[in-house]
Chain A
Amino acid sequence: MKRAFPDIPQLAERIPRLLYSKDYYLERSGDLEEAYADLMEKSGPFRAKVWLWFQLLKLCFGILRTNIVWGFIMLKNYLKITIRNIKRHKSFSFINMAGLVVGMTCFLLILVYVYYELSYDSMHEKADQIYRVAFKHPGTSYMGFDSHLVTPSALAPALMEGFPEVSHATRFRVTGRLLLSGEEKSFYAGGLFADEQFFDVFSFRLVSGSKKYVLKNPESIIITPQLARKFFGNEDPIGKTLACSLGEFEIVGILENVPENSHIQFDWLIPFASLFRAEERESKLFDWIMGNYYTYCVLKTGSDSRETEKKLTAFMSKINKGLGREKERMYFLQSLRSIHLKSHIGGEFSVNSDIKIIRLFFIVAVFILLIACVNFINLSTAHASKRAKEIGIRKVLGSTRFHLFRQFIWESILISVASLFLALSFSFLLLPVFNRFSGRTVVLNALFDWHLLLGIAAVLVATGLLAGLYPALVLSSLQPVDVLKKKTGGIVKGGMLRNILVLSQFSITIMLIFSSLVIIKQMRYIKNTDIGYNREQIVTVRVDDPEVKKNLASLKQSILESPNIIGVATSSSVPTNVGSAFGMKCKSEDGEEIEVHNYWLGIDHNFIDVFQMEMVHGRNFSKEFGTDAESAVIVNESFVKEVNWNQPVGKKIPLFDMREVIGVVKDFHFHSLHMKIKPLTISISSDSRYLHARIRTENLPATLAYIKEVYDRFKIKYPFEYFFLDDQFNKMYQAELKLGTMLMTFSGLAIFIACLGVFGLAIYTAERRIKEIGIRKVLGASIPSILGLFYNNLTRWILIANILAWPAAYFFMSKWLQNFAYRTNIGLWVFVVSAASVIFIALLTVSFQSVKAATANPVDSLRYE
């Protein structure tokens, strides 16, 4: 039929056709066209067209609204069906959800942790513009680094003056803990000596006092409420004075407690100038020689830090040449946000994390979530045969494939929402435990950050979709005829896919177990390595008090009087970490001059005996030789190797003045096992900071009390502080230990989830093959051969998983081991144990079901046939 107005827009035809089924489309499109024609005659084409578009738009909205309403009604139905299904198949649903909940909990915890690590130093307003100055000084090595942080005090002012792109620059000095004394109490506290620009660069907040003035007056101090409470309780601390070795300081401001996720931590701030006497301030505050200060600067937005680095290097090389320093130093800027995760150079004043570890954790988190998803997919498809009837009926009653698909997707999303809520509550409960693990005080508040919430929502939807997609596709494809004819056996195929999923699950699990085994092995290696001295049963006491220092000899004498104390020695640093180092020019036997970068340890006469170190050549320091204290030195084997001596005893080296080598001590580890043993010189020193006592294990508390009592006899105000050397030693490997424990835990959880999946599959297989098993038994199959049915397939896939996982895990773990200068090898047993444990656990899990199935009386399963 010809149209009255053929110029009706194409879309006006198409939209109703999309919106309505055929009958309704005819009616509505027709109505629109008729009304359009009327309006066209009356008001012309323009108005008619505008009108038509409005009508179409309104139609669309109307339909959308109705559909949402109906969508919700259907959703309610889905919810009901889901809950019924969960109720009907309790154990199955439990297994299914448990896996998801455990996976999500792990994921959430790790996510919060990773997020926390990434949030370091983000609290500063100009966080993205702040840079820390560092430099590379090739040829030097301190603690294994040739890059350093400490810069001269004149650098920050020079940056402000000579570099137009630098808007602010500040410098500060970090001292170790400083003993602060109030009227009655004394405490150790760590802090910074900072210059006036400190608050221009950093946005640390003040509770009271003005940022402009608090760092002006040299005799003032700002402290955190935490410290204030220790000294003054609830009294107002402003105006009170605190004393330390540098003088007395008036409290002029209170800081907010420094956030834990700041790489700069301090309890007090003292103006920089207080470090020096008034008459030397001018020179010391703008000094290029001593490098003791940390310099931070703010670059103006839009400036290129690379450019500044180049200019700075050129600038500094001019200055260093003027000071007679020939070796080139390459200056570079570290952006503030990257420091916590990426900076590992000499002079770092906080223990930084490693971005690699953070990435690793994140990958582990994703893996665990994947395992949980795989579980869900596996179990849901396996479970399909149980729901086959429901699907059949729905189809017969007119559900299309799309409807069913939608239903199953909704179901999996509903289950993942429920799991998410459970997981959230578990994470909440487990967070304290997790914090103890990670050594951080992550709070779940981070979860309420909208970034993270969005992320979690995305993950949730992704999990639901991912986990529900395949089951939904499979389930919705079932043919009602087959289903209702009870051809349950071969309904759900995809056995291959299930196997591959199990394969990937176990590959991941094996990788995790493999890695944690290697870490455990390395930790054991560290524990059992002969570090060159006996670190057990040594109590170390800090000797800071001037009065105690003066009376060290009689203190030692008095401590030795106790029958529980075997020996006492003093030293300048703890033997687990010898810090002082310098270069020294030594002559080799051919008269060649060799520059040795060596570490120095000052000890007393008893030290080597108390620590049970071994002398390789020569003799120990002895009181019989009166000149030992002034002119003798002991070196270690590495030193001898470095200078190539055949006859070390009797050689002279320029340590302080010329000293004679009287002995060579066997190499011992005076740093962590990450580092190679370096050349070391040991001499008698009266300036001791640590006192070590070797004690007997019996009566430990009494012995400690005795030492404290003796110490207190001499001290003026410095509190008694001690630690066990062994603990100190273990602390050096805390990062690794943490990593190991975390990986171990997560691999445990991974295997748990994977086994839940295997368990669920075993239930399914047992049910599906119940008749087959019955017939086999009737025909004379033995129980072991039926168990074999269950085991063979699984074992095969786990073995393949091993073969897939080993190379990857081996590669990563040998890389990790390279962090240690002294390391174990990845032995055969790591391979064997990782494989065997997984196979054993998996088979054990399957056994619950399979033994039941194999021993069942065939009559029961075959009776109705």
Chain B
Amino acid sequence: MPKFMTRNEEIILLTILKLKGNAYGVSVRRQIYQDMRDKWSFASIYQPLDNLVRKNYIRRIKGDPTARRGGKSKFYYEVTPEGRQAFLKLKKAHEQIWSGFSKKSLEKGK
């Protein structure tokens, strides 16, 4: 059984996966905005990020400092094999839950 994941954690995990190695705070936030048209605060990004790190689904990698960041290092996030596995299981579970509904039946509420 994979460890429990909240919806936010799930979104973040997917986004990191999508960003393929270029996932750090600002880019994750930007990607979420592009995908969901929703502006998340940094606070609500760091919370799931920290939780995912604690669950060992992603890991932090120290990057180089840039001028734009006031000389502070970037920290990239990368999905661990464990995270990947958890994600696959989750995907399967999702598909199971969603199977049997057609788009039409959902819209009509039947």
A30 touches B72 (CB 8 A): yes
0/1 interface trace, chain A 7-37, chain B, CB 8 Å (1 if under)? 0100000000000000100111111111101
Complex: A192 Cα to B19 Cα, angstroms? 91
0/1 interface trace, chain B 38-62, chain A, CB 8 Å (1 if under)? 0001111011000000000000101
A58 touches B44 (CB 8 A): yes
Asked if A163 CB lies within 8 Å of chain B CBs, one says: no
B74 touches A8 (CB 8 A): no
Asked if A705 CB lies within 8 Å of chain B CBs, one says: no
Choose from B26, B43, B69 the contact partner of A62 (Cβ within 8 Å).
B43
B44 touches A27 (CB 8 A): no
B42 touches A33 (CB 8 A): no
The chain B residue with its CB closest to the CB of A58 is B43
Which residues of A lie under 8 Å from residue B62 when comparing CB positions? 23
Complex: A664 Cα to B11 Cα, angstroms? 110
B42 touches A55 (CB 8 A): yes
A27 touches B25 (CB 8 A): yes
Which residues of B lie under 8 Å from residue A38 when comparing CB positions? 26
B42 touches A59 (CB 8 A): yes
**Provided the pairs A31-B26, A66-B47 are in contact, do residues A3 and B41 lie with their beta carbons within 8 angstroms?**
no
Asked if B109 CB lies within 8 Å of chain A CBs, one says: no
The chain B residue with its CB closest to the CB of A1 is B71
Which residues of B lie under 8 Å from residue A23 when comparing CB positions? 60, 62, 75
Complex: A26 Cα to B75 Cα, angstroms? 8
Which residues of B lie under 8 Å from residue A35 when comparing CB positions? 25-26, 29, 42
B43 touches A4 (CB 8 A): no
For chain B, the count of residues having a C-beta within 8 Å of the partner chain is 23
0/1 interface trace, chain B 62-98, chain A, CB 8 Å (1 if under)? 1001111111111100000000000000000000000
Q: Which of A3, A28, A30: most chain B CB closer than 10 A?
A: A30
Complex: A8 Cα to B71 Cα, angstroms? 13
**Provided the pairs A23-B75, A35-B42, A54-B41 are in contact, do residues A30 and B69 lie with their beta carbons within 8 angstroms?**
yes
A34 touches B67 (CB 8 A): no
Nearest CB of chain A from residue B33's CB, rounded to whole Å: 11
Q: Which of A3, A27, A59: most chain B CB closer than 10 A?
A: A27
Interface residues of A in 50-65 (CB under 8 A from B): 54-55, 58-59, 61-62
Asked if A2 CB lies within 8 Å of chain B CBs, one says: yes
Nearest CB of chain A from residue B75's CB, rounded to whole Å: 4
Which residues of A lie under 8 Å from residue B43 when comparing CB positions? 55, 58-59, 61-62
Which residues of A lie under 8 Å from residue B60 when comparing CB positions? 23, 27
0/1 interface trace, chain A 645-680, chain B, CB 8 Å (1 if under)? 000000000000000000000000000000000000
Complex: A597 Cα to B87 Cα, angstroms? 105
Q: Is the interface of A mostly helix, strand, loop or mixed?
A: helix
0/1 interface trace, chain A 497-516, chain B, CB 8 Å (1 if under)? 00000000000000000000
Which residues of A lie under 8 Å from residue B42 when comparing CB positions? 28, 31-32, 35, 55, 58-59
0/1 interface trace, chain B 1-44, chain A, CB 8 Å (1 if under)? 00000000000000000000000111001000000000001111
A3 touches B70 (CB 8 A): yes
Q: Which of A23, A33, A54: most chain B CB closer than 10 A?
A: A33
The chain A residue with its CB closest to the CB of B51 is A66
Which residues of A lie under 8 Å from residue B44 when comparing CB positions? 58, 62
A3 touches B67 (CB 8 A): yes
Interface residues of A in 33-79 (CB under 8 A from B): 33-35, 37-38, 54-55, 58-59, 61-62, 66
B47 touches A30 (CB 8 A): no
Nearest CB of chain B from residue A43's CB, rounded to whole Å: 13
Q: Which of B24, B46, B72: most chain A CB closer than 10 A?
A: B72
Which residues of B lie under 8 Å from residue A4 when comparing CB positions? 67-68, 70
B74 touches A27 (CB 8 A): yes
Nearest CB of chain A from residue B52's CB, rounded to whole Å: 14
Complex: A23 Cα to B75 Cα, angstroms? 9
B73 touches A27 (CB 8 A): yes
A33 touches B68 (CB 8 A): yes
Complex: A579 Cα to B29 Cα, angstroms? 93
The chain B residue with its CB closest to the CB of A12 is B70
Q: Which of B26, B43, B65, B66: most chain A CB closer than 10 A?
A: B43
Nearest CB of chain A from residue B5's CB, rounded to whole Å: 17
Nearest CB of chain A from residue B69's CB, rounded to whole Å: 4
Which residues of B lie under 8 Å from residue A66 when comparing CB positions? 47
B65 touches A1 (CB 8 A): yes
The chain B residue with its CB closest to the CB of A35 is B26
Complex: A54 Cα to B71 Cα, angstroms? 23
Nearest CB of chain A from residue B58's CB, rounded to whole Å: 13
Nearest CB of chain A from residue B68's CB, rounded to whole Å: 5
Choose from B41, B70, B75 the contact partner of A33 (Cβ within 8 Å).
B70
Complex: A3 Cα to B26 Cα, angstroms? 17
Choose from A2, A33, A37, A61 the contact partner of B72 (Cβ within 8 Å).
A33
**Provided the pairs A4-B67, A66-B47 are in contact, do residues A29 and B41 lie with their beta carbons within 8 angstroms?**
no
Complex: A30 Cα to B60 Cα, angstroms? 15
**Provided the pairs A3-B67, A4-B68, A54-B41 are in contact, do residues A30 and B74 lie with their beta carbons within 8 angstroms?**
yes
Q: Which of B25, B42, B67, B71: most chain A CB closer than 10 A?
A: B42
Nearest CB of chain B from residue A742's CB, rounded to whole Å: 59
The chain B residue with its CB closest to the CB of A33 is B70
Interface residues of A in 526-549 (CB under 8 A from B): none
Complex: A27 Cα to B61 Cα, angstroms? 11
Complex: A28 Cα to B47 Cα, angstroms? 12
Nearest CB of chain A from residue B19's CB, rounded to whole Å: 14
The chain B residue with its CB closest to the CB of A61 is B43
The chain A residue with its CB closest to the CB of B24 is A31
Nearest CB of chain B from residue A52's CB, rounded to whole Å: 10
B67 touches A29 (CB 8 A): no
Nearest CB of chain A from residue B7's CB, rounded to whole Å: 17
Nearest CB of chain A from residue B42's CB, rounded to whole Å: 5
Which residues of A lie under 8 Å from residue B71 when comparing CB positions? 1, 3
Q: Which of B41, B47, B60, B66: most chain A CB closer than 10 A?
A: B41
The chain A residue with its CB closest to the CB of B75 is A27
A27-B75, A28-B25, A34-B69 known, 19 other contacts, Cβ within 8 Å? A3-B67, A23-B60, A26-B72, A26-B75, A28-B42, A30-B70, A30-B74, A31-B24, A34-B25, A35-B26, A35-B42, A38-B26, A55-B43, A58-B41, A58-B42, A58-B43, A59-B43, A61-B43, A62-B44
Please name 10 pairs of A and B residues whose Cβ atoms are closer than 8 Å in the assembled complex, sorted by A.
A3-B67, A4-B70, A23-B60, A23-B75, A29-B72, A30-B72, A33-B68, A34-B25, A58-B41, A62-B44
Q: A residues engaging B (CB < 8 A)?
A: 1-4, 8, 23, 26-35, 37-38, 54-55, 58-59, 61-62, 66
Going nearest first, the 5 A-B pairs with the smallest beta carbon separation are: A30-B72, A31-B25, A30-B69, A58-B43, A1-B71
